A and B are shown apart, each in its own frame.
Chain A
Amino acid sequence: MTSLLQARRLSKTAYSALWSLPLPVWLAGFFLGPMVLLIWLSFWDVKNFLLTPDFQLENWQKILTAGYFWSAYARTAVIAASASVLATLAALPCALAISFFLSPRARMVLLGLFVVPFFTSYLVRIYSWQIYLTENGIVMKLMAAIGIETGSLLNTPLALMVGLVTLTLPLVIVIQAISLLSLDRTLIDAAYNLGCGPRRVLFATVLPAARPGIVLGALFAFIFSFGDFVTATYLGGGKFTTLSILIADTVKSGQQWPRAAVVALMMIVTLLLTALASITYAYRRS
């Protein structure tokens, strides 16, 4: 009898392990493993163009005292922060329209339409923006037709923002819309009943209540813009060296992987701190 019970319990454990384990095990092997190696790698040495396991601080010293690293760091942060603010501001009217001014059916269709571009090739969309913004491209010709002379818009901060907003806008809209849709509607009615005008309702009731979604959307936009490397390469024309470009160049052109690892770890630390700060702010009571 006890053995039967034991067998039962064992099969139950086996059943739950079968489902609980595969993904965590895979990620431990092929995601956590590489990330831990990345940390170790940052202390390795390169001798005669060969990677040699070691424990020395020289890579950290070299990178953290290099002027080019800090200027790339500042540039990346400013670009990502600007893109995040722009995407958040552009997303707000859309998220409000989707959440409050549409029938449930139209709402689903529109959300669906915003999700589709997010999963299409960003690389090809970047190339399309090149076609729009380049010398004698579509934008220049259209501007000339209405009598405004512009040069090539490629390799300007504007081009970078166009690219990064293309990348992040769908995600920000969806996150904001979800948070607006889960808002307690009685709150809004209460504000109206207490005599608030529409503007007051928006700024004193709706936006503060939707703060978690707005902050999280901005955070995601920051994370994606901070890590992206094709926008600055193909819309910035190499004028804007970002941290990701630093890593890609270092890895593709030589053996200095340990220094690239230092840059990569600095990126992760920055993103973790930003995420922590934003999430704390998003859910803080006020």
Chain B
Amino acid sequence: MRVSRTTRRLTLAFTGLALAFLYAPILTNFVFSLNSDRFPTIPLGGFTLEWYRLILADALVIDAFKNTVKIALIVAPIATAMGFAAAYADYRFNFIGKRLVLVFALMPPLIPLVVIGLAMLAYLSRIGLSGTLPAIVVSHIVLTSPFAMAIIRLRFSQIDGDLEFAAQNLGASNWRAFWEIIIPSTKTSVLAAFLLCMAVSFDEYAVTWFVGGLEETSSVRILSFLQSAVSPRINAIGSITFATSISLILGAQFLVLRRLTKDAK
């Protein structure tokens, strides 16, 4: 668009401000996790690792972290596999009600988390699962698989649909064509989806809090800390959480972007 230099500069400056606004809470969290004062404000006190030491000595926090990792490692492969299957089915086959299934599969992230939490709690306690780790796993798969499906479907839309049929015309079986054509061209996006599912599972607190009962993940532990009082210990757990999800998301983005630039060449 042809606009004056001032307009261009103003909008770019505003964009910078928006980024600063979004990253400010993440940045201060890291800073205060290393700050010696009990009450987090400026001017800063001295440097300390005390808060990290405190949470690492807290059995509740350690257990919560163990649960979080366990859950994410079970959720991510299953959600990614199901998301992949749905994306591939949408790309490859035509069946009645396909659009409806697609809309339905993308719906979970759009329903308020408390509503899903309540519905899941009622449902899972009917089948005797509420208050267990499997209850959390089951709900996280519902919440993360739409993300996996979306990311992998995006990749499929860049693959030439005739390639697979060509392979079959040359005598390859369904599975052979799948193995030789679909797997190599989607594997990076599958890995990206895997990382994204882990990140979403890692940070989910609402539904987990509803269905988990006494089982806690690190996000639910943060929720309990928040309910009590301000403490730099929250900053320390928060920093670990941020570092984890930011690495996962950057990893996913790197994979997707590398794919895009490769295709552009």
CB-based contact A26/B7 at 8 Å? no
CB-based contact B11/A93 at 8 Å? yes
Task: Identify which of residues 128-179 in chain B touch chain A, using a CB-to-CB cut-off of 8 Å.
Answer: 138-139, 141-142, 145, 149, 174
Chain A residue with the shortest CB-CB distance to B211: A34
Which residues from chain A contact B65 at a C-beta distance below 8 Å? none
Is B25 close to A, CB under 8 A? Answer: yes
Complex alpha-carbon distance, A93 and B18, angstroms:
10
Is B226 close to A, CB under 8 A? Answer: yes
The verdict on A123 contacting B93 (CB below 8 Å), with A19-B88, A23-B82, A116-B246 known, is no
User: What's the nearest-Cβ distance from chain B to residue A50, in Å?
Assistant: 12
CB-based contact B123/A37 at 8 Å? yes
Is B253 close to A, CB under 8 A? Answer: yes
Task: Identify which of residues 1-23 in chain B touch chain A, using a CB-to-CB cut-off of 8 Å.
Answer: 1-4, 7-8, 10-12, 14-15, 18-19, 21-23
CB-based contact A30/B141 at 8 Å? yes
Which residue, of A15, A30, A90, has the highest number of chain B Cβ atoms within 10 A?
A30
Is B122 close to A, CB under 8 A? Answer: yes
The verdict on A124 contacting B18 (CB below 8 Å), with A22-B85, A27-B108, A261-B118 known, is no
Interface-facing stretch out of A56-64, A65-73, A96-104: A96-104
Which residues from chain B contact A100 at a C-beta distance below 8 Å? 1, 3
Q: What is the 8 Å Cβ interface bit string for chain B, positions 201-212, against chain A (1 contact, 0 not)? A: 011011000100
Chain A residue with the shortest CB-CB distance to B196: A119
The verdict on A226 contacting B1 (CB below 8 Å), with A26-B145, A119-B249 known, is no
Complex alpha-carbon distance, A172 and B7, angstroms:
21
CB-based contact A227/B115 at 8 Å? yes
Candidates A33, A123, A131; contact of B230 at CB < 8 Å: A131
Candidates B18, B26, B28, B81; contact of A94 at CB < 8 Å: B18
User: What's the nearest-Cβ distance from chain B to residue A278, in Å?
Assistant: 12
Which residues from chain A contact B189 at a C-beta distance below 8 Å? none
Complex alpha-carbon distance, A23 and B83, angstroms:
7
The verdict on A120 contacting B118 (CB below 8 Å), with A97-B14, A201-B1 known, is no
Chain B residue with the shortest CB-CB distance to A129: B25
Number of B residues with CB within 8 Å of any CB on chain A: 91
CB-based contact A34/B149 at 8 Å? no
CB-based contact A227/B14 at 8 Å? no
Candidates B95, B206, B253; contact of A112 at CB < 8 Å: B253
User: What's the nearest-Cβ distance from chain B to residue A97, in Å?
Assistant: 4
Which residues from chain B contact A175 at a C-beta distance below 8 Å? none
The verdict on A93 contacting B114 (CB below 8 Å), with A119-B249, A127-B234, A131-B32 known, is no
Which residues from chain B contact A77 at a C-beta distance below 8 Å? none
Interface-facing stretch out of B54-62, B69-77, B237-245: B237-245
Which residues from chain B contact A229 at a C-beta distance below 8 Å? 113-114, 206
User: What's the nearest-Cβ distance from chain B to residue A168, in Å?
Assistant: 11
Which residues from chain A contact B89 at a C-beta distance below 8 Å? 16, 19-20
CB-based contact A112/B22 at 8 Å? no
Which residues from chain B contact A174 at a C-beta distance below 8 Å? none
Given contacts A30-B138, A116-B253, A261-B122, 5 further A-B contacts (CB under 8 A): A19-B93, A126-B226, A129-B25, A137-B40, A227-B115
Residues of A participating in the B interface, judged by any CB pair closer than 8 Å? 11-12, 15-16, 18-24, 26-27, 30-35, 37-38, 41, 90-91, 93-94, 96-98, 100-101, 108, 110, 112-117, 119-132, 134, 136-138, 141-142, 165-166, 169-170, 173, 188, 192, 198, 201-202, 206, 223, 226-230, 234, 244, 247-248, 251, 257, 260-261, 264, 267-268, 271, 275
Chain A to chain B: the 4 pairs with minimum beta-carbon distance, closest first: A227-B112, A128-B25, A124-B238, A34-B119
Residues of B participating in the A interface, judged by any CB pair closer than 8 Å? 1-4, 7-8, 10-12, 14-15, 18-19, 21-26, 28-29, 32, 39-42, 81-83, 85-86, 88-89, 92-93, 95, 101, 104-105, 107-108, 110-124, 126, 138-139, 141-142, 145, 149, 174, 196, 199-200, 202-203, 205-206, 210, 219, 222-223, 226, 230, 234-235, 237-238, 241-242, 245-246, 248-250, 253, 257, 260
